[in-house]
Structure 1
Amino acid sequence: MTEHPNHPVAITGVTQERFDPSLRDLLSILWQRRGVVALTFVVVLIALLSGIANWQGDYRSVTEIGLSANVEIAERQMPAAFNTDRRIVTAQEIETAIAEIKGQKTLSTALSVMRGEGVSLTDMPVSSDLETDGISHLRNALETTRVGNAAVIEVAFVASQPETAQKALMAVIESYLWQREDRQKAAIRRQLAEAEAQFQSAQTELDGLEGDLASLQNSAGILDPDENARMLDRIYALDEQAEKLGQEVVSLRLARQSRNEAANLDDLLAIDDVASHPMVRQISAQFETTKQEFVRLDQRYGPKHPTMQGKQQELDDLHNQLAAVASNIAGQMDITLAGAEEKLRLITAQRDRWQDRMALRNTSVQGQAALVRSVAMARANVQELGQQVQALRREMAAFQGDAAILHAPTLPAATEFPAKRDLAMLAIMMALFAAVVAALLRHYFDQSIDDDFDPQAALGIPLFARIPERSWANKVASAAAHDEAAGHLAVLMRIMVQGGDAESKSDKDGQVIALGSALSGDGKSHVVHALAQKLAGLGASVMVIDADLHDPAPPNRARHDGEMTADLTDVMSGIVDLDAALAGAENGEGYRYLGARMPVPGNIATGMIDGQLPDLIKRLRTRFDHVIVDTPPILSVADGVIALGLADVRLFVLRCGHSKRRDITQALSQLRAANIVPEGIVLNGAKPRAAYGKPQAAMATEGPTS
């Protein structure tokens, strides 16, 4: 045997094309590797869902704290640095507040509050939470950010349970606000403590002076003790009346100032003396009732309805009446204020007269006047200090800090992203991606040949035929393409018989065709019988010898197992005469078949192929136009190389999606070692191509023709 003129040195020397599939190729690859896709998708999805099932999401509770520019607090805390009547909350103050929220003192207080309420951040009992670990856990779960450029701080807390997140956030916020308010109240408490100390000292001094005065009067013998006490009681009573009238005068003056500054009816009604008047209350109640009825009718009829116009007039009349009554009552404040001031003047004058009388009665007593003045001064001091203490106490009770909770911490209804549903969707996407990647990797590293395999470029051996598989989805089209490809191969074999190779042989010798493959499963036996059927259809006498004694594959197993079919092993062993075997070798397909009924052990089969098959083929080629030999797989047993060496035409069968490049290379290497090169390649399992000509249903004319 001579080497093929186009035979390459090695298949591995061919340059590999870049792997860049199109979308259509990708879909084809996914369908071809659908088993890998399904298995990878299921395995990855189950693994991811198993992890998601044990995943515990975090709940996020959110609240907002608003900071205000409280001028009084700023002036009290920084009297030296405060120089303006108006200020804004600076970015530095907001950053300081954020740092204080996450500070050690605030978190320690919040942790104590949470322990008191039985809230634990871990699965351990509450008492087992260490102080340092608890504060660290609080700080890590706490998130504080400024909302835009506003003086608002958004505080969030993340925990594994929604109730824990809400309660922990509430504890942190309340602890911070309490400490901030307590720090701002410190100045007021300090002033109150100083005022109370001064008040006690002045009261003690007043008691001492009054005692000294009473003792002096008793020792002088001028005044009767009872009369002196009655005079003092009278003076004290007048002082008390004067104090009450003074407060009333101050209240009326403030009310008058509010009246003068009032711009509308609402400002007048904001004055207690005006709003508490019976007539004002009565008209206000009528006005509110009419207004509610007006709103209800407006929603029903609309503003242009005649009923609404009447109600509008009634509402305007009540408004004017209320304004008139409020203005009238506010105007009477001047009269009331004048009366109160006159009463205060009279009582003050009466008190002064009593004091003068008392001073006059005690002029004979040494130092009596000085004591009286001291008592008066001490009394005025006590009164002033008492008012200051009361004012500070009211300020302490009504104190409002410069920070407040804008909305309470929310109770989270769902976990933060990603939730389990989001993770499940992500798991599905990841499983799909993994399945696609696995299919592409399997396709990329798979050495199976595909429909685009070019044996001439890769192996240096020409392609003789592309045999498509029969499709169950489209039997007619696939059968037509299959028959056309097999017929093309049969015609090619007939041409080779009629060519130059036939001139060197006797005219009585037929053509010996051997089909081989690297491994089983490439469809070699299918191609053998299809080729034999087409050659028989061309009028040639065809004999098919199944030389694979290890695993025989007859075309019709039921007929071959019958008694009328001869056995190839019997013929090669001389048990059955060749003529008798050929008499029963007709298989009903137009050609004769001779093969083994039962598998033959390895050494025996190899010996029969090497010893008796050459003589049998020599005898058969004188009787038939074509002797087709179905050889065993080359890489499985050595019988295939022996059988291929006996043929005139050697065809190497490959199957798309099944034959591996490394197996092809190894099989051809073994053939080259025996100085055998196949004349052509038969690509089995290729994609079908459109058959030439029109089908019966597409003919231009139908029916009989004349």
Structure 2
Amino acid sequence: MNILSELRSPEYVPPRGSLRATTQEDGDTSSVLQDYLRIASRWRWVIIGATATCLLLGIVATLLMTPLYTAKSTIEISREADQVVNFQGAEREVSAADQEFYQTQYGLLRSRTLAERVANELNLVDDQQFFEMFGGPDTPAFELTNGRYAASGRPMRERAAGQILLDNLSVDPARLSRLVEINFTSPDADFSMRVANAWAKNFIQTNLERKVQSTSYGREQLQQQLAEYKDRLDESQRQLVGYASAQEIINLPGQTEGSPDRPIVVDTLAALNQALTSATADRIAAEATFREAGGEGATGQALTNMAINNLRSQRAELAAQYSQMMVRFEPGYPAAAAIQSQIEEIDRAIDREEARVAGALEAEYRQALQREQNLEARVNELKQEYLGLRRRAIQYNIYQQEVDTNQALYDGLLQRFKEIGVAGGVGVNNVAIVDLADTPQAPSSPNLLINLAVSILGGLILGAAMAFALEQLDEGFTDPTEVKRKLGLPLLGSVPKAQEGTPKEALLDPKSELVDGYLSVYTSLGFTTEHGVPRSFAVTSTRPAEGKSTTALALATTLARARRKVILIDGDMRSPSVHQLGGVDHDRGLSNFLTGENDIDSLIFHMDDLGLTAMSAGPIPPNAAELLTGNRLSTLIERLHETYDHVVIDSPPVMGLADALLIASRVDGAIYAVEAHGTRSTHVKTALNRLLGANVRLLGCVLTKFEARKSFYGYGYEYGYGYGREDREGELA
């Protein structure tokens, strides 16, 4: 982000056409790649020097390095061993996509235990030549006694030997395969081969030992658990039987295979419940019959009784005879009376028989009712007994479940114990050696070409880092494009540094590069306002000797050559310089008018060789800023506009002074001169901040004393400034 864009006051309005006023060389912001190329071109010798230094150091280091030899052995690690017996392992199964198993194997290959085992197998723990080869640590464990290491330091030497082997070992899994390369590097080719092969063989041995140890440990643990669960099973069975005996729980086997046992009371209750149902039906039928017997002769039993029917038949006959007699005789007739007596006797017999039938029905009903009540009482007793049994069966089932659980655990452990016993005697391995290491015939390092490439790359990186660091530390303006990027001001033009003579002499030569540069500035200045070049403007800078006076003189000269009436005012009343260009004294000038003198003609002088009029700074006042605080400067500019087309003021520098702010606030705008390759951007930003704080209208920036050879765009600027000059000189010659 541009810093000045944040500091700019709200009242400030960029000059119209300022973007169009920029020259071709700072038209658009450079791309990131162009910035990098510019930095690389500017600091190319730093980058070349750093690269050359690193290259030289790489060559020297390569020649001084000890040749190292790398031996490689290859093994295959299968995720699961070939199964000789059909059983499941004690460890959890690993899915095909699970890489945890292989990462564990790679970690085991680089384990400290395996390294110390290899060191012991190769007798490296007490090998002085081995520790001298790799530079063993300087500790009491490595002190020699009678030309040998002390036995007391063996554990420490074993640890050190294992660490040395690990430091020079690399485990490289082949991508998308089960192959793993074991690489060992040392100064001795034969030693590298022996270590690589020993590492592969010892890894297989440790893998087998680990499985045997795991199986043996598993058998011991399972054996202990079997005894424990056998005791649990026996205890739970005794507890179940004791509880069943105490609570008189008798269960019958299930009716079908696999069905649970059932209590005996269930069958009894079912049978009695069925009998109760039948008794209830009988009681209901007997009760219905008994209720019907409440009316004489109304019951079906009385109607179907043979004795009663015979009596009724006899009565009917006697009644018929009695009716015939009554036709002829009186009721008192003896024969009729006898028949009547027989009828009454038969009626009494029928009543007696019907009473006997009714008594039989009542007795049958009472008997059915008593049977029903007895069965119902027994069923209720069995229900209470069953409910009590259910309550006792809850605890019984708990004991039964415990027995079943212990039995299942015991059976499972027993089966696993048998399987592990079979597995312990098989001895299969999932690691196999594919290729044993051979003695290396050529050193693996140092590699001259690789070291040179790394040195060159490191040198380029170091040089680039140094270039960027120097670029950040260098706050000067090396290219015209940096003006817009760093300051946010339009670049009116860049002016080359005068190589020979004074700036005035260069301005007198229309073919000089200085004139070409300021002509470009003049052209750009014509786009800063609606009416072209501002009628009054000041030229200032950050500090002295940046080319502001030359810029003011050159622009005034360029305007004069464009047939404009121009007056150049030396506004630097602290260190005046315009009078020297005109070869006059500064006894009279700007300070006289500011102190109250109104005769302008007596304060100016003419520079006929440049075609313009000038006003010196006048006598140096005690405090120039006090003279500029009034309205006399504005009055002077207004009066000069009556005679001159343009008023150009050579202003003092901005830093540390208030003169430039007071002068720039009285004119149409200010042009800021920045010395290329010299002025720091932070100082320029501070000065511009002061101008913007005073509501000064900045027309643009002029890059002075620019040397194209120091710029990334040097060729373009050289071409622009010198184009056609040699041809013109040849024609004039």
**TM-score interval w.r.t. the shorter chain?**
0.3 to 0.5
State the structure with bigger RCO (CA 8 A, min sep 6), 1 or 2: 2
TM-score by length of 2: 0.40
